């Protein structure tokens, strides 16, 4: 049975997840989910206090595939997700940022939302992101962004969900309830971006895991 992974989206720029260019990708942050989620599983991001969206669904996606960082970097379908810091907001927030020549080389981190202000690598971000050499992608997703929708309280109560650190995994009947709700909400909305990310206007910002700050 498919599993459902739910976590709190602390920052919603359009970087993690990245819903642009026809697919929703989770290529940075959340290394545990990226390691364990399988094709057919679901990932849901809910808002927290930082976004003033507690208990509201920012996006959900059914995992339709996964790639290593090198595969992601080289794949023609995802060239548009390579970052361009002098480009559009979408281009600035590209999440296709890691690659290396051999497994013994250091990772190259492209100038991106996860780099330092001068474009050089932010090593804490590199370590966290590359702790799992795996990118999840979905071509069956709905991204609500700043128009995040309420998850019915009865459903949250039924599955005993409350926002917290890390992620929660739901399977069996709890996972089935969540999947049924997502299937209903997805009708007519699959693969759509229904609103901009909460922090889209601040697309030039950088995030450092070392300081846990956006600059």
The CATH code of the domain that includes 174 is 3.10.590
Question: Which domain range does residue 171 map to?
Answer: 4-80+132-195
C-alpha 8/C-alpha 147 separation (Å) is 16
pLDDT at 1 over 90: no
Classified as helix, coil or strand, 60 is strand
Query: For the chain, how many structural domains are there in total?
Result: 1
pTM of this structure: 0.95
Q: pLDDT tens for residues 33-60?
A: 999 999 999 999 999 999 999 989 999 9
In this structure, is residue 88 part of a structural domain? Answer: no
Q: How far is CA 69 from the centre of its chain?
A: 15
Residue 70, in any domain of the structure: yes
- 116 pLDDT more than 90: yes
What is the number of other CB atoms lying within 10 angstroms of the CB of residue 101?
Answer: 9
Say what the pLDDT of residue 162 is: 84
Helix spans in 37-104 (H)? 69-74, 89-92
Q: CA torsion sign, 34 to 38 to 39 to 41? A: negative
* Cα-based distances in Å from 131 to 127, 142, 152, 185, 213: 6, 27, 34, 33, 20
Does 146 reside within a domain? Answer: yes
State pLDDT tens for residues 67-103: 999 999 999 999 999 999 999 999 999 999 999 999 9
**pLDDT, tens digit, for every residue of 151-176?**
999 999 999 998 878 899 999 999 99
* Residue 12: per-residue pLDDT: 98
């Amino acid at each position: 049975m498919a599993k459902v992974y739910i976590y709190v989206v602390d920052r919603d720029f359009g970087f993690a997840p990245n819903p642009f260019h026809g697919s929703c990708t989770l290529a940075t942050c959340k290394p545990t989910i990226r390691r364990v989620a399988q094709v057919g599983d679901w990932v849901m991001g809910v808002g927290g206090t930082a976004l003033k969206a507690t208990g509201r669904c920012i996006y959900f996606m059914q995992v339709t595939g996964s790639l290593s960082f090198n595969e992601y970097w080289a794949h023609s379908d995802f060239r548009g997700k390579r970052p361009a810091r002098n480009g559009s907001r979408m281009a600035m927030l590209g999440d296709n940022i890691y690659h290396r020549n051999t497994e013994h080389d250091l990772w190259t981190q492209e100038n991106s939302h996860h780099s330092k202000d001068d474009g050089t690598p932010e090593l804490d971000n590199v370590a966290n992101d590359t702790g799992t050499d795996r990118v999840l992608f979905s071509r069956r997703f709905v991204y609500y962004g700043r128009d995040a929708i309420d998850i019915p309280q009865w459903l949250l109560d039924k599955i005993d969900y409350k926002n917290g650190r890390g992620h929660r995994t739901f399977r069996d009947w709890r996972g089935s309830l969540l999947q049924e709700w997502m299937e209903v909400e997805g009708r007519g909305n699959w693969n759509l971006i229904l609103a901009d990310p909460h922090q889209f206007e601040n697309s030039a910002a950088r995030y450092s895991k070392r300081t846990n700050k956006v600059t």
